[in-house]
């Protein structure tokens, strides 16, 4: 198992979790957009999940890293927040689209002092995020040489996106009367040809 992140503290957390589970791992500090060059070897599985590609301006380059890291016949799996969810106003009293679903080419700038990773505040609160519609995500993977095997959409999340979300057995979801109206997550399974 090899883990990639450009945050040394995120890698230290991953290493400590792996040790707790008695798993061996190699931890590589790099921008994920340079992962192929930074990581040694190739892999049967590339896995990425929750809060991943919204930080990336360039999905074609991201998808090229994935195919570069996979062996022929290897599997790519992603589960992440749905781009429709990211368009919603988390503070509205109903389901209101506020942010672009499509990539405008410009970053959305957020100043958020709190973090889902713990209590307290962060020293550098500014983040930049890019909207990626489902079509752009799928087309970047196809263009990089992956065959899409399955796409699913889900109605629960592992974090509370909005104060209006309620706790459910596997995380958080919109109130029951709204649960079937919008997707919260998507998963894609793809294979390197």
Ligand X SMILES: C[S@@+](CC[C@H](N)C(=O)[O-])C[C@H]1O[C@@H](n2cnc3c(N)ncnc32)[C@H](O)[C@@H]1O
Asked whether position 15 contacts ligand X by CB under 6 A, the answer is no
Asked whether position 10 contacts ligand X by CB under 6 A, the answer is yes
Question: DSSP for 80-91?
Answer: EE-HHHHHB-TT
Interacting residue with ligand X among 45, 50, 97, 166 (CB under 6 A): 50
In the bound state with ligand X, the residue whose beta carbon lies nearer, of 75 and 127, is: 127
Asked whether position 31 contacts ligand X by CB under 6 A, the answer is yes
Asked whether position 49 contacts ligand X by CB under 6 A, the answer is yes
| Residue 49 Cβ vs ligand X, minimum distance, rounded to whole Å | 5
| Residue 182 Cβ vs ligand X, minimum distance, rounded to whole Å | 21
Question: DSSP for 123-135?
Answer: S--EEEE----HH
Which residue number is nearest to ligand X in terms of Cβ? 51
Q: Is the dihedral of CA 165, 167, 170, 174 positive or negative?
A: negative
Cα first-last separation, the chain:
22
Asked whether position 14 contacts ligand X by CB under 6 A, the answer is no
- Number of residues in contact with ligand X, rule: CB under 6 A? 12
Residues in contact with 121: Cβ distance below 8 Å, sequence separation at least 6, in sequence order: 113, 114, 115
Stretch that binds ligand X, among 1-9, 17-25, 92-100, 172-180 (CB under 6 A): 1-9
Interacting residue with ligand X among 3, 32, 137, 141 (CB under 6 A): 32
Asked whether position 18 contacts ligand X by CB under 6 A, the answer is no
| Residue 51 Cβ vs ligand X, minimum distance, rounded to whole Å | 3
Asked whether position 51 contacts ligand X by CB under 6 A, the answer is yes
| Residue 16 Cβ vs ligand X, minimum distance, rounded to whole Å | 14
For residue 43 the two structure tokens come to 């892999």
Long-range contacts of 132-138 (CB under 8 A, 24+ apart): 132/53, 132/54, 132/56, 132/59, 132/83, 132/103, 133/83, 133/101, 133/102, 133/103, 134/82, 134/83, 134/186, 136/59, 136/103, 137/53, 137/59, 137/83, 137/186, 137/188, 138/188
Binding interface with ligand X (CB under 6 A)? 5-7, 10, 31-33, 49-51, 55-56
């Amino acid at each position: 198992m090899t883990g990639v992140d450009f945050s040394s503290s995120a890698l230290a957390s991953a290493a400590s979790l792996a040790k707790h589970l008695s798993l061996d791992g190699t931890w590589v500090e790099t921008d994920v957009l340079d992962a192929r060059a930074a990581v040694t070897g190739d892999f049967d599985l590339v896995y990425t999940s929750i809060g991943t590609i919204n930080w990336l301006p360039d999905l074609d380059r991201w998808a090229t890293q994935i195919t570069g890291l996979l062996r022929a016949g290897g599997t790519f799996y992603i589960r992440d927040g749905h781009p429709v969810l990211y368009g919603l106003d988390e503070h509205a009293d109903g389901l209101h689209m506020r942010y672009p679903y499509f990539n405008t080419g410009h970053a959305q700038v957020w100043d958020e002092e709190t973090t889902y990773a713990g209590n307290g505040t962060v020293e550098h609160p500014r983040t930049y995020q890019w909207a990626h519609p489902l079509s752009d995500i799928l087309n970047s993977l196809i263009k990089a040489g992956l065959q899409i095997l399955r796409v699913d959409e889900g109605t629960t999340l592992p974090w509370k996106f909005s104060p209006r979300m309620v706790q459910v057995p596997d995380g958080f979801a919109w109130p029951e009367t709204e649960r079937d109206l919008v997707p919260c997550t998507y998963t894609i399974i793809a294979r390197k040809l």
